[in-house]
Amino acid sequence: MKKEKIFQLTSALMFLALNLSAQDSLKNKQLNEVVVSATRSEKNINDVGRSITVVTSDDIKKSGANSIAELLSQQEGMYVVGAGQNPGMTSSIFTRGANSNQTVILIDGVRITDPSAINNSIDVAELSLANIEKIEIVRGSHSTLYGSAAIGGVVNIITKKATKPGLSLDASVTGGSFGKNTQQLAENLYVNYALKNGFYIAAEVSNANVKGQNATNDTVTVASVYKHSDKSDDFSKLDWVGKAGFQNKKLDVYASYKQTQQLTDIDKTAYKDDDNYTIDFKRSLMTYGAAYKFNDKLNFSFIGGLSTMKRIAIDDSSVIDAAGNFDRTYNKGIYEGKVISNELQANYAVKGFNLVVGGGMYGEQMKANTSYLYYNSWGFPPDYVELKTSTDSVNPKSTLANIFLHADIGGELISEKIKAFSISGGFRMSNHNLFGTNLTYEINPSIKVLEGGLLYATVASGFNAPSLYQLYDATDYKTWDTQYTTGLTRGNKKLDPERSQTVEVGYKQKINNTTLSAAFYHTVVKNVIEYVYLWDKNIGLDTLGQNWSRDDYRGDTYINLGTMTTQGVELGINSKMSEKLSVSANVSLVTGKINYRPSDVDTAQTQGNHIQIYGNGAFITSKEVETLGLSRRPSTANLSLTYSPIKEVSIRTDVRYVGSRADVYYEPTFGPYGALGTLAVEQYTLWDISLRVAIYKGLSANVRVENVLDKKYFEINGFSTRGRGFYLTLRYTL
């Protein structure tokens, strides 16, 4: 499917929706959705001049999605790598072409990151669908309200609070298969008890087990190559949540605790199976908050959270030949992280004016300890060789303090004649303990041009702080923790944050029960952090690595280098065409490039040595280097149709198109040590269909067929994806 066909499909759907909406205004119109994440204050979604999507708990149930990664992949402007792979495989989110660490993930407004990861990005696979009231997605730069990493967008997962007085219950079990010899079983139980005076307590347990799929794609055709496939990369995940609070017209107080634990069988790399490689991950998350309504104009709120995580990766010896010999190696890595966040804000609102003022502190810590053992196979001392690395001596940690202000000013504050016009904007001042002060801003004018229509524009800046790994190296090689010639370490404490500038123009129109949206954005990110090799400046590039009697290598490190530019168009439609038929569709077209200029290099950090970018193998010389296209950032299209012939039955079909894109692989010929090359990954189209039946008083069943045509496709080159899947979900709600 080409881009022209995508536009034709969307245009036809919009035309159909508009015609049906004009014919049927429907007596029972959908309630106007209120969002918080876009402005940090309650506001009607149709009055906010930003690109926003709200996914409710009912939407989640109807979608049939087995994970948040699948759910987010259906939204415009988003591509989640790993959503279609074996459950438990690493999932990375790319919003509007931004890097995977440039989208903020929040739970009840509290930032969730992984400071033990190389770039601090969260693995979306660790998130579950348990205890979700709704998900608010705000696309575009939002660092003014949410600080670091909010360049591509913000995803705020809002958990459930009090429900109706008395006991509420939601229990479900899902069983299925997504290929030969595969099995998936998931159980979920949610209980909420609320008193009439406002007190409530809730708990939820969610468990999932997957067996049978080999995560790698076997492409080896040489008969002499020994294969020892485990044929089953199993996965288990357990989430449990407890929450208690009090809520009335004046006060809203809550505290919650969530624990996630998952065990994943993984493989070494693409195409290379491994029968003894596992990752055991555990996160504990405590969140708390309080909001007090002083009067109709003024209210105060406080939110905070403490999150700890631990990842244990073990790669034990594997069989390497038909004789049963092992490679006699044992690798173990223990990676730990800690995040603490607290913010206080005040909201003041009168007719035509809304002001948000706040501030807080955000801190991260990490630890990494690894060991590599090689057992002697010759029978003489030593019995084994052991190499250890540790971050204990450098104690990686960072703090980021901030104050922010955001205001919405309506035209009616000045005159009723210009009440259709409004402008919002603000700034955030952040102070990092290493790189110092950073200022971000946002200007967002909008005007109501038609009945139910809103034209808006945004100019906003953003930033992304370096990760602890990039700052501190994440390894301390004891006596050889620095490069012996230059004294450089891999971590670079002099890194600056990545800084972005975004321009967006959009329009959204609500006609009866149909909402149309369109947006164009252009984002430039400077100071992109790159991992680089350094080579002796006195040796010519054409002879590097060719004389093995000398050492040309001068270390590897992280530096600010490069300017990334992304731009795109997004189109969306959401329509309840009649009491029986509803449709939603979106198209996201994205392009990007990155430029490396010699003038951007801080020679004090590289000591003037040759620079080779690991990400593409290019050397930075006197000429600018330009890379067109960004890996794993495709154009996408989604279509969902739901038909309910009777109240108790609904049929849903989903079609998802993902365009061709580049992926990366290791190319040993790029320089003496090799670097990453790119290769094309083909486009694909997937079709899902599901049937939901209300059986009796709260009891329902959902049958879903995933990847109906059993399409063979890749998300990451070399790793397999799920085939045709069949799932049955039984749910009881009280």
pLDDT at 719: 80
Q: Given a cut of 50, is residue 478 above it in pLDDT?
A: no
The radius of gyration computed from the CA coordinates of the chain, to the nearest angstrom, equals 27
Rounded mean pLDDT, 720-725: 88
Does residue 261 or residue 38 have the better pLDDT? 261
Tokens read off for 110: 């509290």
Residue 725: strand pairing partners: 706
Closest CA to 53 of 519, 687, 641: 519
585 contacts 572 by C-beta, under 8 angstroms: yes
Q: Given a cut of 70, is residue 352 above it in pLDDT?
A: yes
Q: CA 102, 105, 109, 111 torsion: positive or negative?
A: negative
Q: Given a cut of 80, is residue 233 above it in pLDDT?
A: no
Percent of the chain with pLDDT over 90: 59
124 contacts 73 by C-beta, under 8 angstroms: no
Tokens read off for 429: 């001042």
Task: Provide the CA 508 distance to its chain's centre, in angstroms.
Answer: 25
Tokens read off for 363: 């801190």
pLDDT at 294: 94
Q: Given a cut of 80, is residue 230 above it in pLDDT?
A: no
The pLDDT tens digits for 268-305 are: 655 566 667 888 999 999 999 999 999 999 999 999 99
- Angle, CA of 55, 57 and 62, to the nearest 5°: 85
pLDDT at 87: 76
- Work out the number of other CB atoms within 10 angstroms of the CB of residue 710: 11
Residue 237: strand pairing partners: 208, 262
- Angle, CA of 14, 33 and 358, to the nearest 5°: 125
Instruction: Transcribe 421-460 into DSSP letters.
Output: EEEEEEEEEEEETTTEEEEEEEEEEEE--STTEEEEEEEE
488 contacts 555 by C-beta, under 8 angstroms: yes
Query: At 261, is the pLDDT very low, low, confident or very high (cuts 50, 70, 90)?
Result: very high
Q: Given a cut of 70, is residue 383 above it in pLDDT?
A: no
Closest CA to 605 of 562, 563, 564, 558: 558
pLDDT at 415: 86
Rounded mean pLDDT, 601-627: 91
pLDDT at 93: 93
The CA distance from 406 to 402, in Å, is 13
Query: At 375, is the pLDDT very low, low, confident or very high (cuts 50, 70, 90)?
Result: confident
Rounded mean pLDDT, 492-502: 95
**CATH code of the domain made up of 3-733:** 2.40.170.20
Rounded mean pLDDT, 455-469: 96
The pLDDT tens digits for 306-329 are: 999 999 998 887 766 667 677 778
Rounded mean pLDDT, 352-357: 94
Extents of the domains making up the chain: 3-733
The pLDDT tens digits for 119-166 are: 999 888 888 887 888 999 999 999 999 999 999 999 999 998 877 889
615 contacts 530 by C-beta, under 8 angstroms: yes
In 58-124 the beta strands, taken as DSSP E runs, fall at 78-81, 92-95, 103-107, 110-111
The CA distance from 119 to 560, in Å, is 14
50: left (phi over 0), alpha (psi -120 to 50) or beta: beta
34 contacts 42 by C-beta, under 8 angstroms: yes
**Phi, psi dihedrals of residue 115, rounded to the nearest 5°:** -65, -10
The CA distance from 239 to 128, in Å, is 8
Rounded mean pLDDT, 341-356: 95
Tokens read off for 98: 């931004």
Residue type, 717: N
Q: Which of 7-11, 248-252, 460-464, 610-614 has the lowest mean pLDDT?
A: 7-11
Rounded mean pLDDT, 567-578: 94
Q: Given a cut of 80, is residue 53 above it in pLDDT?
A: yes
Tokens read off for 265: 């069988």
**Phi, psi dihedrals of residue 600, rounded to the nearest 5°:** -80, -10
Tokens read off for 640: 């969902």
Q: What is the DSSP letter of 192?
A: E
Q: Across the chain, what does the average pLDDT equal?
A: 87
297: left (phi over 0), alpha (psi -120 to 50) or beta: alpha
Does residue 40 or residue 378 have the better pLDDT? 40
129 contacts 159 by C-beta, under 8 angstroms: no
Q: What is the DSSP letter of 256?
A: E
The CA distance from 571 to 557, in Å, is 41
Q: Which of 99-113, 249-263, 711-725 has the lowest mean pLDDT?
A: 711-725
pLDDT at 12: 46
- Angle, CA of 85, 91 and 92, to the nearest 5°: 135
Between the CA of residue 642 and those of 136, 573, 578, 580, what are the distances in Å? Answer: 22, 14, 11, 8
**Phi, psi dihedrals of residue 410, rounded to the nearest 5°:** -90, 150
350 contacts 297 by C-beta, under 8 angstroms: yes
Rounded mean pLDDT, 370-381: 70
Residue 679: strand pairing partners: 663
Residue indicated by tokens 């149909």: 514
Q: Given a cut of 50, is residue 477 above it in pLDDT?
A: no
The CA distance from 34 to 55, in Å, is 12
pLDDT at 502: 97
Q: Given a cut of 50, is residue 15 above it in pLDDT?
A: no
The pLDDT tens digits for 665-710 are: 888 889 888 999 998 999 999 999 999 999 988 899 999 999 999 9
pLDDT at 597: 94
54 contacts 45 by C-beta, under 8 angstroms: yes
**Total H helices, total E strands in the chain:** 6, 39
pLDDT at 6: 47
Instruction: Transcribe 145-189 into DSSP letters.
Output: HH-TTTTSEEEEEEEP---SSEEEEEEEEEEEESSTT-EEEEEEE
- Work out the number of other CB atoms within 10 angstroms of the CB of residue 354: 21
CB-based contacts of 264, cutoff 8 Å, min separation 6: 88, 89, 233, 234, 235, 278, 279, 281
